[in-house]
Structure 1
Amino acid sequence: MQIGMVGLGKMGGNMAERLRRGGHDVVGYDRDPAISDVGSLKELVERLQKPRAVWVMVPAGKPTQSTIDDLGELLDPGDIVVDGGNSHYVDDQKHAAELAEKSIGFVDCGVSGGVWGLKNGYALMCGGDQAHVDRLMPIFETLKPEGEDGFVHAGEVGAGHFAKMVHNGIEYGMMQAFAEGWELLEASDVVKDVKGSFKSWRTGTVIRSWLLDLMVRALDDDEHLEQLRGYAQDSGEGRWTVQAAVDHAVPLPVITASLYARFASRQDDSPAMKVVAALRNQFGGHATTSAEGATEKGADSPGADVVPPRETERR
């Protein structure tokens, strides 16, 4: 099958290569001319035979909107656009409606597999009309892992990215659990081989997983993670998952806490913790640390002299 691929970065480039290895005719476009097969979106569309299929693999938000707007002007009725990026499912519904006015089909497809997908295949979660999905099945069959799992037509437009959004929310929680367990083991003076403990869990335990394998791989490279700064970015899906939970009144304490932990990681000097430290000093006389790093004495410090509040202030 012939398909156009827009965006040939780490994911899109590997997906295009997997499709080529599977016997498909892929015409790729990227803003980087060194890796692009064509010089423009217009040239890409002209290279494709009708009815066309174009897979968009660019960052969510404005880049995706701009690309779909441009394709809407270049494609013909009967063509199909696939958004394989990490778009918000609400945007999918908007994009589908805009393209439908021109009789152009739209399928949203959440893709998971990272840089390992070229070798292992990609888990695909699709949303859209059954006829559009059926037409693209040769592409999906090549991209997915071997076997019966790894692909789902989750529902109408938006369902694919909604499923991928929840997938990434679960991923946040799982990574946070591994992170907290590692930190506790590192802080303990009882466990001497933290890396070995993680390795021992890879076989026979209920937490064995690909994430655990990747954790061991990271510890093999840097046993105490001393080369890394404790800073974690988020790409948006965690936020959208929490927002959707509020919309549907579904409690997500683990996923929400893991998202907030990422926010906390970006604060070298947490404003909220300044308030906590100040209040602990006020009600309990606990020691505080100045902005310069000096420790100020509190009631729990040797030699501290804190005047207790008057009886009326205690109430």
Structure 2
Amino acid sequence: MGNKLNYKIANRYVEIHTEYPENLAGLLPGFVHFHDSYDDKEPLIQLSREFESEEPELLSSDIDNKVIHTFNLEEDSCKFCKKGSKYFFTIEEKGGAGSIEFAMEIGSPKVKCRLMPDFENGRTILPSPARLKFSLWMALAFTGIPQKFSALHSSVIIYNNSAVLFLGESGTGKSTHTRLWLNHIEGSRLLNDDSPILSIDEGETCVHGSPWSGKGQVYINESYPVKAIVRIKQHPFNKLQKLSTLESFGALYPSFPPAFLKDNFFEGHICEIISKVISTTPVYLLHCLPNREAAEMVKETVYK
């Protein structure tokens, strides 16, 4: 297997350099569907292990770092911060027993990974699969957003060789609605149930399956043009409304990675992505009940 793992995600190349590729691959089961044996391709991300004794200026120990965003990942504490053109993402385990840190720089594919030691017993703790996968998700957003592609909080249905993206806050019924498509709309398939990749490729809006999925663990390495985008809201009756340009922008904006919306540089690029998407792709607001009629209403409107 060599000393690196190669993946192709959303038609971009990712390299993970490691002394123990088989062990690391075991921590990333969803990534196996995106394995690629490419050579001579310029990678979007080159991830390598960084030790404390090497390039200390890349580490986030300086007190003058600007904190962009803090949040929780289950019981872990996450911090996204910057110093100049360098950015750092850290996940710290509850109680401070161990953590993982990624150091990144704008314009560079190289991502440095540092595993913090457990000072109580003197050993370095390997990251859990969830921590490692989420850190890689952050790294993909960091390198991808300036190149006009990003993860999007969405559930994606494939129908007639194109994609419909369903947006909404957690608990608003995205998964329920896409399940209605699968149960009642013949020929529909689920591409991803939580975090597909949205891209602008040669002026066309495309969506890609990804190694990041929700409870359904849907890891499909396929890409499709986007036919429509639908934001879902629960309602006592079904109603589908096509949104104006301004309303469309507001419908997409909150579904992009929250930490990057809080940084001026990345927010600007996200706004460019949204502007390009809504210039060619219709966006709808679906007020709906969790019933078959809601799915059929969307299908008949989008694919009329």
Instruction: Please state which structure has a larger fraction of its residues in helix.
Output: 1
Length-normalised TM-score, structure 1: 0.26
Length-normalised TM-score, structure 2: 0.27
